[in-house]
Structure formats: C-alpha cells, structure tokens
Amino acid sequence: MTSATESSQQVPIALITGFAPFDGEAINPSLEIAQSLDGETLAGHRIVAAALPTEFARALATLDVHLRHHRPRLVVALGQAGGRSGISLERVAVNLIDARIADNAGEQPVDVRVVHNGPAAYFSTLPIKAMLAALRDADIPAELSQSAGAFVCNQVFYGLMHRLARRRKHVRGGFIHVPYLPRQAEKFPGTASLPLDTMTRALRLCLHVALTTQEDLRYAAGTTH
C-alpha cells in the first residue's frame, strides 16, 4: 500500500511561489495568484503553491525546503513589481543584492553577492517568448524584462537558477513579476494594476506553456529596462 504522501509524489509537481506582503502593503498579488492556482492540475502536473518570506536571510532557505520536499519538475517564482503595467517575464537574474528599502526583517544589504564566487548572472530557462505570445493572444498586458531588480525577488531568482544549474539541470525555472492589484494602486493615482482573476489566468497560461513547450519561440519581442 502506498501512503497518501507516496502516491501524491507520483504526480509530477510544478512549484509556484509568492512573497509575503512588504513595504507597508497588506497584500502581495504574487502570493494571491500562487494560492489561487494551488492544487490545480495542468498538463499532467499538480500545481503546488508556496509562500516565501520577503526577507533576505530566510527566503532561499524556505525555497530549499520546498525544493527538497516536492522535487518539482518546474519552478516559477512570482513577485510584486508595483508600477509595472503588465505581467513581466524576467530574462536574467544577477549576482547582486542592492536593497533600496529594508526587507520585512529590517535588513537592507547593499552591494553584496547572492552567491559568493557565483557567476555574474543566470538566464531564465522558461520559454518566455512562447509565454509572452500566449499572453498577448489572450489580450493580457505582458512584456519581457531584462531586470528583476536587486531586492529579494532577484535574490530568489538568482538563488533558484543557481540551485537548478548545480543540482537539478533537468528542472526548468524562472521568475515573473506582476503589477499591483487595483486596490493597492488606488493609493498611487495613475499607477497601473491588473485584477486578480486576470493575473491568475495569465499565470495558468504561463505554466501551461512552460509544461508543454520544449523549444522557445524566436522572434523580436521587445523588452523593458
């Protein structure tokens, strides 16, 4: 007889992470989206959502717990990027932390590496141009981005890609930034936002493309930053 844990482990897992609210916000759309998708089945994979603390000292250790426990086939980390207007598919993680504000533990590290002696950068291994095409076909605002910043999101993106490159080469991973929810943007007139159901639909599409597309598309998509 297989235990519940053993049988659930036979279904391949796609891990999607979101961050705790930070910078005085009560909510973080990245976590809301991840939790909305938790438990769904997509292209033969079970989606498992995990929350990461918005803290430099604890974010990657928490990610490690989930990587070890779920042994996912795909990892997509999400984060809030207030002010961006669309789903932002990140291309590159840099080996740099340069916090513009304090994290949720009050830490504000400046000009330090994510991984001592690690390479300068890693590229996302998600099929981001195919994902972008799917989002645009669905009329969801989306863009490619060349910079995930230098705060906790970039730290997690870099740390994730470093772990996958060293120990789990067959696992695809990457990072997606999402805009504010409408109720967050109300405080900043003129700031873009997207409803939760639109962003959840967007991430479902992205995961589906990532799980079903081997070779990324090649076309001139344009980028921000």
List residues with catalytic annotation.
90, 153, 177
Can residue 194 be called a binding residue for ligand PCA (CB under 6 A)? no
Please report, as residue ranges, which positions from 203 to 222 form the binding site for ligand PCA (by CB under 6 A).
none
Q: Which two tokens stand for residue 123?
A: 């590229």
Can residue 179 be called a binding residue for ligand PCA (CB under 6 A)? no
Residues 6+ apart with CB under 8 A from 132: 89, 142, 143, 144, 221
DSSP secondary structure letter of residue 146 = S
Q: Which among 76-84, 89-97, 105-113, 162-170 is the span making contact with ligand PCA, rule CB under 6 A?
A: 76-84
Q: Which among 112-120, 122-130, 147-155, 192-200 is the span making contact with ligand PCA, rule CB under 6 A?
A: 147-155
Of the residues 30, 88, 125, 200, which one makes contact with ligand PCA according to CB under 6 A: 30
Q: Cα separation of 39 and 124, whole Å?
A: 25
- On whether the CB atoms of residues 74 and 171 are closer than 8 A, the answer is yes
Can residue 145 be called a binding residue for ligand PCA (CB under 6 A)? no
Q: Cα separation of 33 and 207, whole Å?
A: 12
Of the residues 33, 81, 97, 171, which one makes contact with ligand PCA according to CB under 6 A: 81
Please give the span between the terminal C-alpha atoms of the chain, in angstroms, as a whole number.
54
- On whether the CB atoms of residues 200 and 37 are closer than 8 A, the answer is yes
Can residue 54 be called a binding residue for ligand PCA (CB under 6 A)? yes
Can residue 149 be called a binding residue for ligand PCA (CB under 6 A)? yes
Of the residues 13, 63, 79, 176, which one makes contact with ligand PCA according to CB under 6 A: 79
Q: Cα separation of 91 and 82, whole Å?
A: 18
Can residue 28 be called a binding residue for ligand PCA (CB under 6 A)? yes
Residue numbers at the binding site for ligand PCA (CB under 6 A) = 19, 22, 28, 30, 54, 79-81, 149, 151-153
